[in-house]
Structure 1
Amino acid sequence: MIIERSSEWKEGFTNRLENLEPWQNWTLYNMNYEIVKANLITDFYGLQSPKYLPNLTPLNHQLKVAETVIERMNGKAILADEVGLGKTIEAGLILKEYLVRGLVKKALILTPASLINQWVEELNYKFYIPAIPYKKNTPIEYYDVVVMSMDTAKKSPHKELIYAQDYDMIIIDEAHKLKNHKTKIYEFVQGLKKKFCLLLTATPIQNNVFELFYLISLLKPGHLGNYEAFQSSFSASKHSLEHDDYLRELVNQVMVRNRRQDTGIEWTNRRVQIIPIDFTKEEKEVYEMISELKNMCPVFSDTFSMITLQREMCSSKEATQLTLSKMREKCVELKEIEYMESVMQKLMALEMNSKAEKAYEIISQANDKVIIFTEYRASQAYLQDYLYSKGITSVLFNGKFSKSKREWMKQLFKEKAQVLIATESGSEGINLQFCHHVINYDLPWNPMKLEQRIGRVHRLGQEHDVHIYNIAIRNTIEDSILELLYTKIGVFEKVVGELDDILTAFKKTI
């Protein structure tokens, strides 16, 4: 039999091109359909993608996560590995697998702005996925894989552009930022068409158990019932629930979580401790005067304002003074103004900061690189000045810095400075395995923020034991913070699973 190349297609092609004839043809469609169908990989056991990734050597636990999500969870899952175990790699493997299988063509990755470049770089160079970072006026309809910040995506006109696309896969990094149905980003994500969807977070419960309910409802609406049914079935309140074994079973149908001890990798240890200290007599007097403001000035009757001031007083007089100055303007009665003036005079007369003294003591004993986490930029500036007076070099890191400045600060810390003083923004998007001392100068209300902070140093590549120092001032608001942190840790471990040490090396029963 002689096979010759046909040229008949040329005539049809020319006619359609010149005479604007329709291109649709049912026979051609069926032929194309059969070719695509033949090229699909129908066996969903095992991964095809690793053999196409010469620049990547995935760890066993990362491969197992990808297999589990594809084979058992149909591409809709929460990836909840502990911080530093490579959730980005797992998501990249899953995305690459679906691209290889022909089941995904367009994908959207939503992430905090500080992580955009990291995602683009890893997808391009490790996975050979041509991802682009979204910028203003980027014609996203012409790009198959787009990485965009959450804050940009939820706003007009960007959200309308996204809704007009047909994305096969949505990936959301730091998915705990979605929080609940009342936030704009949650509402935006809820409106997306989600054929496949990955939510990445080491901390699916941040403050209360309902956050996990809302995350799962995004993936599989109704999996935990509606809000009222969930609340009733598990007697759920913010910080307590019942039937946690059954709830964990339901959660595990849509969530994959590895702990460090599950990976087969030899990890360095965490040395965690709470360091209780006392105010000086003068500091205690000012703290009590501040606490009395709620009875002296109506403007301080708001519980949140009072708690904020008490926390700031536990941090630095600089942070406290800023808030007091703003609140003083709202006082109208003479006796209120006079009392405020006396508080501020006593505050600014303080010559010692007990917490800063303890931090300096820890840094001196460590004689190594140290990260200090504070909640307030005013305390950040004070600590830098205080440490400088003691002959210790430091750099700052906070959310007001541009991406390039953040990279510069990180480089300075690695090569020049002994201390990095960071606000909460320093607990995301930077990897600092060359450091292994962390001081939590101010305690957050949320235990998962502690885990995120520690995860900056206790991650793959860390070669030393990591030392964590949690400073807390006795007989202040920080006692209440500690109690609530233990309660929230208990809820997390009931539903999600055990946590590595973040407060102390022992578990406290509330």
Structure 2
Amino acid sequence: MHMQIQRSSEWKEGFVDRLENRQPWDSWTLYKMCYEVEKAKLIEDFYGLQSPKYLPELKPYAHQLEAAETVIERMNGKAILADEVGLGKTIEAGLILKEYLIRGLVKKALILVPASLMNQWLEELNQKFHIPAMQYSKKYDLNACNIVVASLDMAKRSPHKENIYSQDYDLIIIDEAHKLKNHKTKNYEFVQSLKKKFCLLLTATPIQNDVFELFHLISLLKPGHLGNFETFQVAFSASKHNVEEDEFLKELINQVMVRNSRQDTLNEWTSRRIQNIPIEFSDQEKEVYHMLSELKNVSPQFSDAFSTITLQREICSSKEATLVTLLKMREKCSASEEVAYIDELLGKLNALEVNSKAEKAYEIIAKANDKVIIFTEYRASQEYLQSYLYSKGITSVLFNGKFSKNKKEWMKLLFKEKAQVLIATESGSEGINLQFCHHVINYDLPWNPMKLEQRIGRVHRLGQEHDVHIYNLAIQHTIEEQILNLLNTKIGVFEKVVGELDDILSGFKLSI
């Protein structure tokens, strides 16, 4: 195929026509229009946000705009966005990304998120911010993909890791960044090795168990900002659950962290109504609990404190959860006295006909006569609770980390449209928004107070129109009392270093 290229002579004809007929050489109207276009594109001052002008359909809240301004103007694009759950950290990150794109300071960005949040991020970036983000795929040439959303769990593995390392990203955004709390994990190592000019870490819970988690997060953003690990320990007399010089430490942290609480916003928030509900074991349950606690004295094989605590927590949840662990332990038994003790325990477990905690949960659900979320730590307890509630005429659906993305969406829809109760394991406290529900039962207490905040944040967030009722169940004179005491200690560390927590956690300061 031959293509003939010719020079256009139209410019010459126009030039001669204007010259010979004395026609005007310019158009004042067109000039003014061009001038206005160029002026609109000009950013005369570094301060203030340009992005809202380009997002007429997005109506961000004042605290979200202020957070974006703070990160860009004061923190040089390296920050932890640590607003309380439900205040819109995704919107803040989107505003910052959009701002840097408009200013030409960012051309390539990588957003790392849990797999369950991929669709949510892609939808928000494309529809709300008009940012052409695409899902990572090894089939694509990353050189041609400017804004990429990827699952952190997938991105850290080969060959994806090497593919991503080959890129020079201007901005890295990491959602649910508390998953980087352990500096010895592959997640942490992967993010630390990424080339990045700007970096945003999104987490409502920058401290989950101890103060060193925050040290490692900040070290990802600005290595040396808090000194090295040894210096940090000495300067702030830091231990896992204590820190001194907390005002100076807060000042350093505030240089890299933006945190808005619900009280900081101008929005009208519904209340959290908390009840810590003590439960008394039946005599039969007490006997089984005591036998499980004594298991460590039967044989050195069972002296592991972790195994004892696990069994104690499980029996506080359900005999079904306990049976799973106990049967595994029996398989490892060799001595006849060990087998005999466990067989006796199994017999007493199977004979249990009462679950005092489940009965209390049913009582709460019946009284609420409304949608209720139950959070449990164990899938065996999940299945037991569904069966138990069904026997009482209560419809329920399950939600756990083993479900596919589509199944999770289906369970959420069934809960909204059909079932009265959603029974969720910990994975249900991350990435789903359930503002249509306003009753939460913490059936099992976690060691980590921030997990409770994540759970409650599923319902107590922007868009919630009702007061949220929180019921914390705890068996008296068991491991769950120790959990409450430790939660108290961890809350104290968080409030010392980061700031006040909402009522659900301060409610634990009341002893049961």
State the match for 2:265 in structure 1. Answer: 263
**In structure 1, distance between residues paired with 2:446 and 2:275:** 16
State the match for 1:164 in structure 2. Answer: 166
Answering whether residue 409 of structure 2 is matched by residue 377 of structure 1, we say no
State the Cα distance separating 1:301 from its structure 2 match.
1.2
State the Cα distance separating 1:156 from its structure 2 match.
0.9
Answering whether residue 368 of structure 2 is matched by residue 366 of structure 1, we say yes
Which one of 210, 213, 220 corresponds to residue 211 of structure 1?
Answer: 213
State how 1:233-312 maps to structure 2 within 5 Å: 233-312=235-314
Answer whether contact 1:40 1:101 (CA < 8 A) is retained.
Answer: no
**Higher Rg of the two aligned structures:** 2
Answer whether contact 1:168 1:195 (CA < 8 A) is retained.
Answer: yes
Answer whether contact 2:449 2:490 (CA < 8 A) is retained.
Answer: yes
Q: TM-score, normalised by structure 2?
A: 0.91
Partner of 1:195: helix, strand, or coil? strand
**In structure 1, distance between residues paired with 2:141 and 2:369:** 52
Partner of 1:314: helix, strand, or coil? helix
**In structure 2, distance between residues paired with 1:140 and 1:121:** 20
State how 1:49-448 maps to structure 2 within 5 Å: 49-448=51-450
State the Cα distance separating 1:174 from its structure 2 match.
0.4
What do the CA deviations read for 1:461-502 (whole angstroms, capped 9, x no partner)?
000000000000011110110000010001000000000012
**In structure 2, distance between residues paired with 1:387 and 1:407:** 22
State the Cα distance separating 1:297 from its structure 2 match.
2.8
Residue identity opposite 2:120 in structure 1: Q
- The gaps in structure 2 that reach 5 residues or longer are 1-9, 13-37
Residue identity opposite 1:130 in structure 2: P
**In structure 2, distance between residues paired with 1:504 and 1:254:** 26
Answer whether contact 1:299 1:327 (CA < 8 A) is retained.
Answer: no
Answer whether contact 1:274 1:503 (CA < 8 A) is retained.
Answer: no
**In structure 2, distance between residues paired with 1:46 and 1:241:** 36
What do the CA deviations read for 1:88-138 (whole angstroms, capped 9, x no partner)?
000000000000000100000001110010000000000000111123433
State the match for 1:24 in structure 2. Answer: none
Partner of 1:109: helix, strand, or coil? strand
**In structure 1, distance between residues paired with 2:453 and 2:352:** 33
Answer whether contact 2:487 2:508 (CA < 8 A) is retained.
Answer: no
**In structure 1, distance between residues paired with 2:299 and 2:44:** 71
State how 1:441-456 maps to structure 2 within 5 Å: 441-456=443-458
Answer whether contact 1:174 1:201 (CA < 8 A) is retained.
Answer: yes
Which one of 440, 445, 466 corresponds to residue 468 of structure 2?
Answer: 466
State the Cα distance separating 1:55 from its structure 2 match.
2.5
**In structure 1, distance between residues paired with 2:224 and 2:61:** 34
The number of residue pairs the alignment matches comes to 476
- Shift of the 260–395 alpha-carbon distance from structure 1 to 2, 3 Å rule, reads same
**In structure 2, distance between residues paired with 1:205 and 1:218:** 15
**In structure 2, distance between residues paired with 1:249 and 1:272:** 32
Partner of 2:503: helix, strand, or coil? coil
Answer whether contact 2:110 2:150 (CA < 8 A) is retained.
Answer: yes
What do the CA deviations read for 1:363-411 (whole angstroms, capped 9, x no partner)?
0110100000000000000000000000000000000001110000000
Answer whether contact 1:170 1:194 (CA < 8 A) is retained.
Answer: yes
Residue identity opposite 2:299 in structure 1: C
**In structure 2, distance between residues paired with 1:488 and 1:204:** 12
State the match for 1:17 in structure 2. Answer: none
**In structure 1, distance between residues paired with 2:395 and 2:168:** 51
**In structure 2, distance between residues paired with 1:348 and 1:227:** 50
Partner of 2:169: helix, strand, or coil? coil
Q: TM-score, normalised by structure 1?
A: 0.91
**In structure 2, distance between residues paired with 1:490 and 1:115:** 31
> After the TM superposition, which of the residue ranges 440-449 and 272-281 deviates more from structure 2?
272-281
Residue identity opposite 1:313 in structure 2: I
Cα RMSD, aligned residues only: 1.6
**In structure 1, distance between residues paired with 2:194 and 2:508:** 43
Residue identity opposite 1:75 in structure 2: G
Answer whether contact 1:486 1:508 (CA < 8 A) is retained.
Answer: no
Residue identity opposite 1:291 in structure 2: S
Answer whether contact 1:311 1:478 (CA < 8 A) is retained.
Answer: yes
**In structure 1, distance between residues paired with 2:447 and 2:347:** 30
Partner of 1:332: helix, strand, or coil? coil
Partner of 2:86: helix, strand, or coil? coil
- The gaps in structure 1 that reach 5 residues or longer are 7-35
State the Cα distance separating 1:503 from its structure 2 match.
4.1
**In structure 2, distance between residues paired with 1:5 and 1:332:** 98
What do the CA deviations read for 1:442-469 (whole angstroms, capped 9, x no partner)?
0000000000000000000000000000
Answer whether contact 1:273 1:504 (CA < 8 A) is retained.
Answer: no
**In structure 2, distance between residues paired with 1:434 and 1:306:** 39
- Shift of the 163–507 alpha-carbon distance from structure 1 to 2, 3 Å rule, reads same
State the Cα distance separating 1:39 from its structure 2 match.
7.0
Answer whether contact 2:113 2:174 (CA < 8 A) is retained.
Answer: yes
**In structure 1, distance between residues paired with 2:42 and 2:293:** 68
